[in-house]
Amino acid sequence: MPSSAANTRFRYTIFMLMVLITIINYIDRGALSYAASFVTREYGLDKQSWGAVLGYFGYGYMFGALVGGVLADRLGPRRVWIVAGVAWSIFEMATAYAGDLGLALMGGSALTGFAFMRVLFGFAEGPVYSTINKTMSAWATRKERGFAISIGLLSTPLGALLTAPVSVGLLMLTGSWRTMFIVLGVACLIALVVFMRVFTDRPDNNPRVGAAELAAIHEGRSAAATAADTNAAYPWWAFFTSRTLVLNSVGYFAFQYVNFMLLTWTPKYLQDEFHFNLSSLWYLGMIPWVGACFTVLMGGRLSDWLLKRTGKLTIARSRFAATSLLLTTLCFLLISRASNPVTVIALMALGNALNSLPNSVFWAVIIDTSPQQRTGTYSGITAFLVNTGAVLAPTLSGYLSARYGYASMFLATGAVTATGMLAMLLVRPGVGPKPRATVSIPSQTAV
């Protein structure tokens, strides 16, 4: 049991270490985009093939998210963090030799080699955000839930922002795209060791958590609700009986589509359309993500404030997200008509900032709506559905840009965010799936 003299804000240490791990995780997945000119030239890949290479990550990612969410419920997040973190670090380093592996062992196809390695790498990275949500459900207080989730999600824009200078810096410093992947993999292993030295699945089991902090974390968590979660059977498929959870996934898909379209295609788009060189991309690639680093945190605060002010989850979550997606749609439709690089980059930055504003909302809706024993599983199902965007965004963008030009890529993005906006208008947080029956479900394994 924690002592009363122990740290009373230790949960924020846990939150920030999760951010560190996931920032490196995000740099890992985006680094390949900045090696585009080297890889495509070395292996003779055209634009459409390169879009496929970028999209292969998503196939593994969506299944990894599903499996990771289920395992976080059954085994506890600590074990998932360890296994997933070690695995994606190894596959990140192995990406340096993916093309050669394909040429030597897979019918002489470098594309097949990259497909194989990126699917495995995506599967290993997939559990991250499902596991973050499971961790937050145990560590965050009810009153700070939106903001706490936004801290964990800060890794998305901040990691994407840092991908440009870190990747370009490593490329220019080492002169080797292969060395870049090896350095990133080693860095993640080191960060994982630091995180696991202080992390426990639940704050109750952590000697660094004081009694006052533990009381704050448990405040407002209904004992009756917890008992109901323990005694009611919520099978995985009950997720699809909740309109709110399904439509929340559609809204979140729109966010993810924007995220992966910008992450994977911004470097090549700027090179092809405006002829920027590698030495310019280290800072130009950062600009679309600067505003998002602030809005992802603001969004959590705003959602919590709206909930406190109105007492209505519908306003604080769904309408807030729908408004943000509407404004995001307008920005990407305008990009499709713009021809000046300054205007394009400015609209990218504004559109991405607005897109990131409700990022924490999508995860908060899952916690608001799911039975606590199924937070990880339902987060995993959501992530599985959402991360089809990790496949579709880079693959469809490559097809559209090759066939109709880059403007069509941005028009498609606007259509996706408009669909997400309509879905979020119908979301009713707190209206969850109905239990199948009243039976006993084993509690989460203590780790």
Do the domain assignments include residue 301?
yes
Question: Does residue 375 have a pLDDT over 90?
Answer: no
Do the domain assignments include residue 173?
yes
Portion of the chain with pLDDT greater than 70, in percent: 92
Residues 84-97 have a mean pLDDT of: 96
Residues 408-430 have a mean pLDDT of: 97
**Burial grade of 99 (CB within 10 A; 0-12, 13-18, 19 or more):** buried
Q: Is pTM beyond 0.75 here?
A: yes
Whole-number pLDDT of residue 112: 95
Whole-number pLDDT of residue 6: 47
Residues 328-363: tens digit of each pLDDT: 999 999 999 999 999 999 999 999 999 999 999 998
Q: Give the pLDDT band (50/70/90) at residue 232.
A: low
Whole-number pLDDT of residue 221: 60
Residues 397-416 have a mean pLDDT of: 95
The residue type found at 418 is A
Higher pLDDT, 156 or 269: 269
Structural domain tally of the chain? 1
Portion of the chain with pLDDT greater than 90, in percent: 64
Which segment, 170-184, 295-309, 423-437, is predicted with the most confidence on average? 170-184
Do the domain assignments include residue 244?
yes
Whole-number pLDDT of residue 220: 62
Do the domain assignments include residue 139?
yes
Selection from 442, 447, 446 nearest residue 229 by Cα: 442
Query: 16-47 burial string, b = 16+ CB within 10 Å, else e?
Result: ebbbbbbbbbbbbbbbbbbbbbebbeebebeb
**Burial grade of 446 (CB within 10 A; 0-12, 13-18, 19 or more):** exposed
- Assigned token pair, 264: 């994977």
Question: Does residue 4 have a pLDDT over 70?
Answer: no
Whole-number pLDDT of residue 371: 83
Residues 34-49 have a mean pLDDT of: 91
Residues 298-315 have a mean pLDDT of: 91
Residues 6+ apart with CB under 8 A from 223: none
Q: Give the pLDDT band (50/70/90) at residue 5.
A: very low
Higher pLDDT, 432 or 138: 138
Do the domain assignments include residue 142?
yes
Residue 438 has phi, psi (to 5 degrees) of: -100, 95
Residues 153-199: tens digit of each pLDDT: 888 899 988 998 999 999 999 999 999 999 999 999 999 999 999 99
Q: Which CATH number is 153's domain given?
A: 1.20.1250.20
Do the domain assignments include residue 134?
yes
For 343, what's the count of Cα atoms within 13 Å in the CB-facing half-sphere?
Answer: 10
Q: Which domain holds residue 194?
A: 10-206+238-425
Mean pLDDT of the chain: 88
Residues 251-271 have a mean pLDDT of: 93
Do the domain assignments include residue 377?
yes
Whole-number pLDDT of residue 172: 93
Distance CA(77)–CA(80), nearest Å, equals 5
Distance CA(182)–CA(160), nearest Å, equals 19
Do the domain assignments include residue 223?
no
| Ramachandran quadrant class, 110 (left: phi over 0; alpha: psi -120 to 50; beta: rest) | alpha
Residues 416 and 258 sit within 8 Å (Cβ to Cβ): yes
Whole-number pLDDT of residue 48: 86
Residues 210-229: tens digit of each pLDDT: 888 999 888 866 543 444 44
